[in-house]
Structure 1
């Protein structure tokens, strides 16, 4: 079979490429060996955020009782009912994506695919395919594990199967303090588990601003989560449905942590096994990523072969919304339509825990290391009325050039994932604090704290002097 474009992998990067390419009039074949939607839809973003919403409802019952005088109690969590709602959300999204692909005229072939040359792909069950315009690699990633720890889906789990492990454990040890680990630690704590969160770096979410990590740690500890940073796993043993682990901090003596479940969240690795990159003249870097020769087109060293999603190394972020943008770029490139390269500096980064974090642009440390003379302003969310209403702390931090544009915006607190889009535009359009200060934020809202932070930087401080 000959077609214009062959996409290998039906996750967010793959199906967005296919949909956009088809909309531009190209004949598209999408090869997927599992389910359309990939990790994000079936094992990651969507189901985990559904579970975190349920966790937020549980937390709200406690807040209503303890803070607002609403005499509410939590009888129990009906785990099968919670899972059924989550799975219904996933299933409806899955049907929606498949319907979009069918309506767009994308031919979906089921089976494992491998490259046979610069324009050739073999799909099990479908045979040899040839691409006139190009091939798009979108095979995604899998959870990394640690030596000596074999996930069993029950006692030792990865982020891919943590949602599907049976029941709710009474105690959880989470290895990895990035976004995934923090979210799972937050979820299990809301559901009543004793949680220990271990991160090897000196702070949680170590790729984010240091103040973000500090405020996040404070919020998690306030909820009763035991946070150990600068700590590593020395040893772990599994017996009788529980885990016994030895954790070594950067300073002090090792400590033993016992838990019913061990969740390994130490990052993800690109999936290229069975793809036979060599047949097309491609190789990977030392971490298994397929590196573009041209980042403006996400095209590899082999002309006509492009790559999107988790196969990409930094500065790509391994985030679903970045994959959508990468898919649009590649589809438009293959169709000969002018398209802007992905600006990774303006891609929002969000952790959906309680408290949440959201950021866009440079951290203060990154800005200084790049030679910028910066001015920084921070404002606690509790300095505005709506922040007091929520009563969960949090902060707004803005990093700007001394006499120029905004370089980064960093948020910690309730619902900040819904507040970051404004800051994406601020950073992406090279706005200065005075530009933002001209615009009025509604009162009372949490977003008002963002506006107040920029007012102060612009020399027009109202509630913050």
Structure 2
């Protein structure tokens, strides 16, 4: 029976990062993976969707070449097969890179499905789910089914799409993000149920590529977790692009045709209507993969379908830990990676701090991009803060105008008593890259005074961050 210091169940972002950090700290480490290294994020989520959205972005600029004084000879068309092939190729390249990192750090990869038989021991059986990417096969000599011992077992099994009764995805007419990422052909029309990051990114991709898109959201605003002002700006941009958005509306029934779906939707007043489209994407959230691991039999405490931890990855059962999506929201890859490091360093006995979820940035890579960190204006007021709010429009920034991206907004929220930065929210070009500046500022407990005295390079989009801070304190220059 092979024995390890740490075994990680799941080779996604949280799992493989935890394993690498464990190896760096001198632990004999193994990862159990049933499908593909890199998890959903690398293979079917974060990375391949960005490849798809990049293709859509290039297509958008090509079809608007005249706006930049350019003329393209010939016709523009979408080869969906080639677009998908590029996306899958990006994932395959990175998948292989994770395998290299495992080998480099002398981490054993055990292929199969794990169940914790008792504290300190797990049983691995052959995977019931074949690898989705067979072009990256397990290396020769890789470990497989058997019984393994470990002083510490970290559960990093991620999450899967939530399924609503009566609207179950069938892989043909009703898609999850798996099918939406590799369509055999471009649908002419599409219904997207749910306007969180997953739903709105796919809505943006398919609309840019020419599909007639309708988004149905049960809550009052599109992208519900975002600041209301940012959400409203994004909605106007989406609708200007031709997207139909129905908020405070729920899908009550779906009927399937030979090559179409008809959804019955109902608004908050009870009014009903039907929408017919070639395909439908169900993007109503995800649920943790907690089943079949033996956790309940061991008495591991659960919390709304995920594993409850103490903020350092520890469950109520000594020797068993959980990180990433399976450990609860926010279900983001960068949160999982950071949790993995904290968990392993806690096991090592290093001085660690629980992850402050209020400082985890969120990014949505639609067009326009949306990014945020910290409290929204409404949440800050609910928390009892008296706030100072700064805003700066993209139209006032030279770089944005030169890029042909004059529509957007940067918004900052401060505690008026202390100058503490409570939140930052952005919509517009490249804001997913800009947000990290405010994330660093919040982690360093920067106040408005330090931000006001910081010199931002010119000409850059980042100058809008500075101007937004200045605006909160009545010192804005360029509006």
Q: TM over 0.5, yes or no?
A: yes
Shift of 1:71: 2.4
Shift of 1:458: 4.1
Matches of 2:89 and 2:55, distance apart in 1:
14
Matched, 1:267 2:276: no
393, 402, 414: which one aligns with 2:416: 402
2:140 matched residue in structure 1: none
Matched, 1:345 2:358: yes
Q: Which moved more, 1:319-328 or 1:155-164?
A: 155-164
291, 307, 329: which one aligns with 1:290: 307
1:144 matched residue in structure 2: 162
Any runs of at least 4 consecutive aligned residues in structure 1 with deviations exceeding 6 A, and if so which?
Answer: none
1:6 matched residue in structure 2: 7
Matches of 1:422 and 1:249, distance apart in 2:
39
Q: Which moved more, 1:8-17 or 1:427-436?
A: 427-436
- Quick check: 2:301–2:307 contact (8 Å CA) kept in 1? yes
- Quick check: 1:397–1:409 contact (8 Å CA) kept in 2? yes
Matches of 2:113 and 2:121, distance apart in 1:
14
Shift of 1:462: 1.5
Matches of 1:433 and 1:283, distance apart in 2:
42
Q: Map 1:117-266 onto structure 2 (within 5 A).
A: 117-124=118-125, 125-132=144-151, 134-251=152-269, 253-266=271-284
Name the TM-score, length of structure 2 as normaliser.
0.93
1:433 matched residue in structure 2: 448
Cα-to-partner distance string for 1:83-117 (whole Å, 9 max, x where unaligned): 22112111110010110011101100001100111
Gaps of 5+ in 1: none
Shift of 1:80: 2.0
Shift of 1:346: 1.2
SS in 2 for 1:463: coil
Once superposed, what is the RMSD of the aligned Cα atoms?
1.4
Matches of 1:415 and 1:86, distance apart in 2:
20
SS in 2 for 1:350: strand
Matches of 2:114 and 2:297, distance apart in 1:
12
Matches of 2:3 and 2:158, distance apart in 1:
25
SS in 1 for 2:181: helix
Matches of 1:457 and 1:284, distance apart in 2:
42
Matches of 1:440 and 1:95, distance apart in 2:
41
Give the number of equivalent residue pairs: 457
Shift of 1:456: 2.7
- Quick check: 1:36–1:97 contact (8 Å CA) kept in 2? yes
SS in 2 for 1:379: strand
SS in 2 for 1:218: helix
Q: Map 1:377-392 onto structure 2 (within 5 A).
A: 377-389=390-402, 390-392=404-406
CA separation of 1:182 and 1:310: change in aligned 2, threshold 3 A: same
Gaps of 5+ in 2: 126-143
Matches of 1:361 and 1:443, distance apart in 2:
27
Cα-to-partner distance string for 1:232-256 (whole Å, 9 max, x where unaligned): 0121111111111111122373221
Shift of 1:383: 1.6
Name the TM-score, length of structure 1 as normaliser.
0.95
Cα-to-partner distance string for 1:18-77 (whole Å, 9 max, x where unaligned): 011001110011111111111001111111010000010011112223x23422364211
2:458 matched residue in structure 1: 443
1:47 matched residue in structure 2: 48
Matches of 1:226 and 1:179, distance apart in 2:
17
Matches of 1:56 and 1:93, distance apart in 2:
22
2:431 matched residue in structure 1: 416
